[in-house]
Amino acid sequence: MFFFKKWSIAKEDAAKTAAIRKSQAVIELGLDGTVITANENYLGIFGYTLANVRGQHHSMFVEADERSGAAYRDFWARLNKGETQSAEFKRIDRHGDEVWVQASYIPVLDSRGNPKKIIALAADITAKKIKDLANAGQVSAIERAQAVVEFNLDGTIITANKNFLNVMGYTLGEMQGKHDRVFVESSERAGDAYRDFWARLNLGEPQSAEYKRINKAGNEVWLLATFNPIADESGKPFKVVAFATDVTKQKVKSADLEGQITAIGKSQAVVELGMDGKILTANDNFLKTLGYSLLKDIQGKHHNMFVEAAERTSTAYRDFWARLARGEAQSAEYKRIGKDGKTVWLQASYNPVLDSRGKPVKVVEIATDITSRKLKALENEGQLAAIERAQAIASFRPDGTIIAANDKYLKAMGYTLGEVSGKHDGMFVESSERSGSAYREFWGKLNRGEAQSAEYKRIAKDGSEVRIRASYIPVLDAQGKTTKVVQYATVIESAAAASEEMSASVQEAPVSMAEQADGQSLSMNRLENRRKTVKAGPSPFAQFLTNLREGFSSAVASSTKAVANFL
């Protein structure tokens, strides 16, 4: 009977052992740490076969720096004393990756109570451990980044982190045991909303919003906070943890922006548009600019009511709305059509307003009426175009290097643009003049913003002289500093060339044989009369030069005025 009972117990123990080996990872180790055997579950966790591990030391599963550590030596010393070791252990698999196991290392004793080997029962908890570590890391990160405070359900403060203390200006000792209401204005403290806030937390309902609180110095502090009830195993709340971010600066900035928007609305034309292009609302300035008196005249209609018919169906207008739909702001000068077909020019920006996911929900247009300035600019552009056609024009950097030149200028000097671009104006000047103080002072005055206008001798590509009547006009930035110089010039024919032309004209005059025979026709009296005539008035050539100069001066004065208006 006794033998049968003992056999039954042994059979039951064997069944239990078989069940354990089937469900858990099991490894048997000698007291020196060498592997005796391991089941498939254990081998599967670490990616080995039994042949790979049998006879190897257990340290093959341990990181190198841990193997030589005092803790690992103590671990084996305790096992050799018969002390079971249970914990979460970090181990290394065949590929060198981390494996976390929940394991118990159990010494197996002989009949005299001495350890003879070690059996380790393990469960792979890698996924759980990684999640726990991630959660712990997130909590730690939140602790570092946010203000955290814990409350009892009655609202009294249990503890708070450094961030919260810094925001509110208290020490932990000054806050512990005090009620949250110490941070709340008296008018709010006594209100129904504040009582309901704590009642909901006690029911396990989280509360999240922007909250205005008062710090130790009595100043407003705005917190973007979530108050989270923490429940026990039965689901009953037992405390509240608040995670908060100080948004005081953003709140003040937001209030400032609201003030700016209000100010913009007073001074500029503002219209709000749906993403379908339909008008949601517009301020009085916008209505007035486009010639409307009532919002209902445009509300609900498409923005294309302000656009010329040809533009409405254009690719450019479709692309304009496609860009806005992608959240891309658009800014430019726009020609718009107001009431009764009047043309209105707007300097406008179209600004997509995004939701919390970054998706455009509407467009706000902010505009300024620039009609009168635009018409003047178009007029000036026309004048400049006329000047461009009539005169030789070149532009220079303040140091005198050539930026650009028109065809008239290039033709007069005999160069292509590629030959002069980036070269100095000095290439057109005689070497004796180029090195002189007068030429340096000429560019010095231009750099000081002083326009220069005179007759100038320049040298063409073929070495011939070219005389020009030119104005060099500095273009200034907002600080009055010269950013470039524009030269407007008219080429003046040289005196020698003009004299030759006149001589040719005289030579071409018909002379009869009778006149040639009549030598007396060139008597001294006739020569004297011609001399007197010359003394009495300017020669035709002199008169030609005078008329040319007067005409050019008038043209330069007109073009200079147009350029000044345009710039």
Residue 299 has pLDDT above 90, yes or no: yes
* Model confidence pLDDT, tens digit, residues 439-472: 999 999 999 999 999 999 999 999 999 999 999 9
Asked if 324 contacts 330 with a C-beta cutoff of 8 angstroms, the reply is yes
* pLDDT for 183: 96
* pLDDT for 252: 78
- CATH homologous superfamily of domain 146-251? PAS domain (3.30.450.20)
Single-letter code of the amino acid located at 562: A
pLDDT (average), residues 197-202: 96
Q: How confident is the model at residue 496 (pLDDT cuts 50, 70, 90)?
A: very low
Where are the domains positioned within the chain? 20-130, 146-251, 268-374, 391-498
In CATH terms, the fold of domain 20-130 is Beta-Lactamase (3.30.450)
Beta bridge partners of 366: 270, 349
Quick one: how far is CA 38 from the chain centroid?
Answer: 60
* pLDDT for 357: 87
* pLDDT for 456: 94
Residue 31 has pLDDT above 70, yes or no: yes
CATH number for the domain running over 391-498: 3.30.450.20
Is there a shared CATH topology between the 20-130 domain and the 146-251 domain? Answer: yes
CA distance 207 to 49: 54
Residue 134 has pLDDT above 70, yes or no: no
Phi, then psi, of 56 in degrees rounded to 5: -85, 160
Q: How confident is the model at residue 301 (pLDDT cuts 50, 70, 90)?
A: very high
* pLDDT for 559: 46
The residue among 353 and 252 whose pLDDT is bigger is 353
Asked if 446 contacts 472 with a C-beta cutoff of 8 angstroms, the reply is yes
Which tokens sit at 422? Answer: 């980036």
CA distance 144 to 196: 31
Residue 312 has pLDDT above 60, yes or no: yes
* Model confidence pLDDT, tens digit, residues 10-26: 455 455 555 556 668 99
Residue 104: Cβ within 10 Å count? 14
* Model confidence pLDDT, tens digit, residues 151-178: 999 999 999 999 999 999 999 999 999 9
The residue among 252 and 555 whose pLDDT is bigger is 252
Residue 219: Cβ within 10 Å count? 10
Asked if 222 contacts 246 with a C-beta cutoff of 8 angstroms, the reply is yes
Asked if 371 contacts 337 with a C-beta cutoff of 8 angstroms, the reply is no
Residue 410 has pLDDT above 50, yes or no: yes
pLDDT (average), residues 498-502: 45
In CATH terms, the fold of domain 268-374 is Beta-Lactamase (3.30.450)
pTM to 2 decimals? 0.36
* pLDDT for 17: 53
Residue 389: Cβ within 10 Å count? 10
Residue 81: Cβ within 10 Å count? 9
Beta bridge partners of 241: 150, 228
Asked if 299 contacts 279 with a C-beta cutoff of 8 angstroms, the reply is yes
* pLDDT for 250: 84
Beta bridge partners of 105: 85, 120
